[in-house]
Amino acid sequence: MEKTDFVSLSGSVAVVTGGGRGIGHAIADKLAGMDATVVLTSRDEAFVQQVAGDLTSRGRRAEGVACDVTDLASVEALGEHLRKNYGHVDILVNNAGIGGPSGLLHELAPDDWEAIFNTNLRGAYYMMRAVVPLMIAAGAGHIINISSLAGKNPLPRGAAYSASKWGLNGLSYGVAEELRSQNIRVSVICPGSVDTDFGPRRHGKDTQRMLKPDDVAHAVAMLVTQEPQSFISEVLIRPTQKP
């Protein structure tokens, strides 16, 4: 198969939440490899700075910044950091998320419900609230929300997680229409089972058949290199063989 031409993102600033591990790390590595300057965020400052340091040691441009997407003040501080140090953000990947415990909804603790929705849905809202004004000022941007096929289908014993991803999908569709006139494309990626340490529902599955984080990163790269007249609003990714 003939390889496509390399597309450089030189000059672009990309922000990836939850960029230290799993899907987020693969996305950060992919975008940095395309010459973007990547700002990775995580609640663990030392860890995310270590991950960013690994990227810079390989000749890539990256910075690790502590940010808790569930905390408005933390996200606003990140937004101010981006404005002062970079002046613009071209790509925002809302990847930070949690799965929560596996179990029946009526047995789920309210604190677990709050944690799931605050991370998976409120966090994306906070990040867009902080970053979209920078994109509007620049006249363009890409926002990519990492959702799940659980936001398209029922997920017994994971109803709260599923509901948070249905909500993220709805948020993405609505904001996409709000921002299209500003030349900002908002897309959502819904992967199936991904081979990470993320969720409890990984147990018992054939990891060789599961999607890999790089598969999601590939979809992100496709979205941010679309032609100007093209808008891919949603990407569903399934394993070729069910795990």
Which residues form the catalytic set?
A: 161
Which run of H or of E encompasses 131?
helix 123-138
Which structure tokens are listed for 240?
Answer: 């070729």
Distances (CA, A) of 143 to 92, 194, 225, 242: 5, 21, 13, 29
How many H helices and E strands in the chain? 7, 7
Task: For residue 103, report the phi and psi dihedrals to the nearest 5 degrees.
Answer: 170, 175
**For residues 97 and 151, what is the distance between their CA atoms, to the nearest angstrom?**
13
Handedness of CA 225, 229, 234, 236 (dihedral sign): negative
Structure tokens at 23: 């899907």
Q: How far apart are CA 149 and CA 71, in angstroms?
A: 26
The answer to whether the beta carbons of residues 62 and 32 sit under 8 Å apart is yes
Please check whether residue 209 is in contact with residue 243, taking contact to mean a CB–CB distance below 8 angstroms: yes
4: CB partners within 8 A, 6+ apart = none
